Structure 1
């Protein structure tokens, strides 16, 4: 038994040596065959530094320009609906008519109260005029009594008249004086009565105005122009003043807003790039892609960027405004928005076939050195533009980047190079074509944006949009 085990071990060892020898010979044969094979041909493109617009695509939500929830301001029953549900209404247009019998009765009563108050004023004025006339009469009597008393005083000392006659005259003077003072007091009271009657008129008129306002509010009108939704209540429904449920909602949708969320971290990164001179200011121009993939006809403008960061999402909200005369954009609709974040200096545009990704997600390209051998170069990308990668770091002037033919090759492998012809790759635009500006012209004019003639406000420090899918060209404009 032991001898058989020994034979088996020797046999396995010999077999292993034989297999190893065969593998070594196979490797040597493969290497020799590779040396005998002609070098592979690759298409290369020289590095050209340019100023490239960074255009990001992100989701946006349509928001109405103005929204008004219509609620009644009085209590009543809906008698009539005066608009077409879902249609356009103008500011001031009647929407609902409510029952108004009670308010009309109150209005009539208040009108009568105003008329009565006005009559009371006239009565008070007439009384005052009588009081004034009475004052003049009493004043004349008082003055006459004083004159008689003064005339009879020396006659008493001369005993031409009796003391009793003089006292009677003096009594008449005091009585006339009291009557005169009473007439003055009556006139003052009559004047006060006029003021009171006029105040009553003002109160009655205020009550009349209130009842008139209630009658007017039996017709509910549109406070803004816009599109109506379905009516929340029907004819015959009882409504209350300031109820929670609106009768209908009106939305003004021309113009219209698009709200966009931007990462605060991305905002800081782009601001740092701008401060360091790596990135020029963006533009306030915004373009939309509708849900069916078609572009919206008119570009919009950024209005504002909120001066706060949402604590839950860590994002800043941007708001853009668009014309919407055809009413293609509706509140609540989700769209894709394209925004020129800025212009990156000293960037290189490479077709997508030039880049590879490592398992760690790093971007790499093949460079052909002076000995026509392949070298691996790690690069930094800033998204894509018109189907090309934007490379911001890792390449040098004079580098020859492999665009086509490097998929199955290895570093240090010798190759034959030929100039890359963009026409052979329809997916990638020709180098130098499209809206990119050479570096030496970056300060001579704005860089064009996709589907536009020029990007406005090139050096303006405008809001920036969050980077979307920086490692994929699926969301970029072609």
Structure 2
């Protein structure tokens, strides 16, 4: 019985020792180490980018002519439909020709009489039946009569008012029965050539100076023949299907706006473009080789408005960069200072990190699957630039 009692007395002591040992082990267990945050990055690669600028402008007719009478008279008939296309040389109005017909007939009769007299004196002067002075006067009268006929013929021709150019004619500004005069200030109608058509856009003179400096410094390469090509957009944002070509730029700067005017010419076979329309023209400035494009989602601005980006350096630590950006190209910023090829810009997880913190960088293309299961590209090819 005594051994059994001794064993029973030993059980509580052993339990106490076990509890003490377990408590000691719990106190020695260390807290789990904090995990390194994971961020998604885009590794920057240099690429060739065609720089373009979009400028506002208005359409203007390629040619414009105000139709005015060149003789006096009463309008007998209008011979065109208002707002339609007319051809060069097409008759638009008929002025009463009766007076001019009579003048022409009278001049023609006088011419014939003068011609016969000059011929007769020409035969007689050889026989000295008339003097050389009389013959000369007869010859001069004939020439004057010829000039009078020519003038009468021209006036009679001008009673038919013709279109000077091919284009679209405006509404009629005079009606049948109206008296018109040569040299009057009021036009009978206006004809505008719409195919092709001009588009005049304005560009700040500072932009032209910047482009010249960049080209001279080798920062930009000339776009060559493509530099003259222009793409047009309507006011609602839709594109005009026909490409245009840059014609010239003004040699002077507008004192009021500090801008210069660029003129482009566009084919307009369907007359979709009408004079006075507000449009936007996209022009190619040049090609920037080895351009650095940073994703917009990885670029923020501080309280001063300076563009910044968080970059993972070689030590796998977050580093803050201040950037100089010039324009957007698609979903990217064109960066001229602050980033270089090979830099890893953080695009996801920015809210969980700060400069100096170690992170685990994963390429965004490897973690952002595109629809259908394919990996999305890390950086899309640069589309046309917008100003």
TM category (shorter chain) comes to: 0.7 to 0.9
Structure 2 equivalent of residue 78 of structure 1: 75
Maintained 8 Å contact 2:326/2:334: yes
| Larger gyration radius, structure 1 or structure 2 | 1
Structure 1 equivalent of residue 274 of structure 2: 330
Structure 1 equivalent of residue 195 of structure 2: 254
Shift of 1:424: 5.9
In structure 2, list runs of 5 or more residues that go unmatched: 1-31
Structure 2 equivalent of residue 380 of structure 1: 324
Shift of 1:284: 1.2
Maintained 8 Å contact 1:382/1:389: yes
1:59-458 counterparts in 2 under 5 A?
59-125=56-122, 127-128=124-125, 132=127, 186-187=128-129, 189-282=130-223, 283-407=227-351, 409-421=353-365, 430-431=377-378, 433-434=380-381, 450=384
Maintained 8 Å contact 2:292/2:340: no
What is the DSSP-based 3-state SS (H/G/I as helix, E as strand, rest coil) of the residue aligned with 1:278?
coil
Structure 1 equivalent of residue 28 of structure 2: none
Maintained 8 Å contact 2:292/2:341: no
The one-character-per-residue Cα deviations of 1:111-136 (angstroms, maximum 9, x if unpaired) are 1211221232244235435xx2xxxx
Structure 1 residues 100 and 386, CA gap change in structure 2 (3 angstroms)? same
Could you say which structure has the higher strand fraction?
2
Structure 2 equivalent of residue 176 of structure 1: none
Could you say which structure has the higher helix fraction?
1
State TM-score, norm by structure 1.
0.68
Shift of 1:414: 3.8
The one-character-per-residue Cα deviations of 1:309-361 (angstroms, maximum 9, x if unpaired) are 22222112111111111111111111111111111233212222111122332
Q: C-alpha separation between the residues in 1 aligned to 2:179 and 2:357?
A: 87
Structure 2 equivalent of residue 10 of structure 1: none
Q: C-alpha separation between the residues in 2 aligned to 1:272 and 1:100?
A: 65
Shift of 1:370: 3.1
What is the DSSP-based 3-state SS (H/G/I as helix, E as strand, rest coil) of the residue aligned with 1:128?
helix
What is the DSSP-based 3-state SS (H/G/I as helix, E as strand, rest coil) of the residue aligned with 2:131?
helix
What is the DSSP-based 3-state SS (H/G/I as helix, E as strand, rest coil) of the residue aligned with 1:273?
helix
In structure 1, list runs of 5 or more residues that go unmatched: 1-34, 133-185, 437-448, 451-472
Structure 1 residues 407 and 310, CA gap change in structure 2 (3 angstroms)? farther
Shift of 1:413: 3.7
Q: C-alpha separation between the residues in 2 aligned to 1:258 and 1:37?
A: 63
Structure 1 residues 425 and 41, CA gap change in structure 2 (3 angstroms)? farther
Give the aligned CA root-mean-square deviation in angstroms: 2.4
Give aligned pairs, total.
Answer: 348
